[in-house]
Amino acid sequence: MASKNKLLSLDSVGLLAATVILGAFAVILGTALYNVQTRGSVDASNGAPSGPHFNLNIIGVPKSKTATMTSGNRIFVPLVGNCQINLSQGNFAVLDANCTDGKSGFQLPSPDPANTGITTYSVYARALGKPGGRSTTTTCATDPLTGELWCSVYAMIQVRSTGKSTFTNVSKELLYIYADINADGRLERYPLFDSALQDYYWNYDNSGMKLLQLRFYQVPTNVN
């Protein structure tokens, strides 16, 4: 009888150990699933993903800047009028923060090297500042064979309306050029720094927008 009780006791210990192991596994699995589900999830409070990001503020000013500015997280643009934000490939960085003289410089990684339509990072934008401002940003580049300038048929249009401002995904508008370059009647897609074009830039046309905020997140966007 004692032997039987001993066996029952051993079985109980084994069952308890198995329960603990399964419970721990469930916690680990649950945590992993939670991380997968929430990674890159959108924050309902402002419309942008959660997590680390590079922040770029495009600031509209009524007077031209004269100082040389080669760092920071902002670019100054005319409050009314347009200027050219030249784009270079590399880590996120402001190369020339003064666009009030007509041109500035911003560096960012190649968003879709294989042109799959799925970006390696995403851009979100929101309009801030006094209500009433509006800006249009168009991605452009030059055909190296003909010297012809091409701008995407899709542009990022931001309007500062009254009330709370939220982020929207503008990856398609800012990271690609859609144009019928080969004249076949269909739009072709060219990601930033595609070798088919060169001298990529954003044409920023401002109508009173005092602050446009861009955020670059390491989450993909499918533009297909």
Give me the pLDDT at residue 11, please. Answer: 42
| Phi/psi of residue 37, nearest 5 degrees | -70, -35
Report the predicted TM-score, pTM, of the whole model to 2 decimal places: 0.79
Give me the pLDDT at residue 48, please. Answer: 87
Of the chain, the end-to-end C-alpha distance in Å amounts to 72
Encoded tokens for 40: 């890159």
Q: Are 187 and 179 in contact (CB under 8 A)?
A: yes
Encoded tokens for 120: 């390696």
Give me the pLDDT at residue 4, please. Answer: 39
Q: Are 159 and 211 in contact (CB under 8 A)?
A: no
Give me the pLDDT at residue 171, please. Answer: 98
Instruction: Write down the domain spans for the chain.
Output: 1-38, 53-217
Encoded tokens for 104: 């500035």
Give me the pLDDT at residue 29, please. Answer: 29
Give me the pLDDT at residue 40, please. Answer: 42
Give me the pLDDT at residue 37, please. Answer: 27
**Which residues lie below 8 Å from residue 16, measured CB to CB, with a gap of 6+?**
none
Radius of gyration of the chain (CA): 26
- How confident is the prediction along the chain (224 residues), in pLDDT tens digits per residue? 444 343 333 343 343 333 333 333 333 323 332 222 223 455 547 888 989 999 999 999 999 887 778 778 999 999 999 999 999 999 999 999 999 999 999 999 999 999 999 999 999 999 998 788 999 999 999 999 999 999 999 999 999 888 788 999 999 999 999 999 999 999 999 999 999 999 999 999 999 999 999 999 999 999 99
Q: Which helix (H) or strand (E) holds 7?
A: helix 2-38
Q: Which helix (H) or strand (E) holds 88?
A: strand 80-89
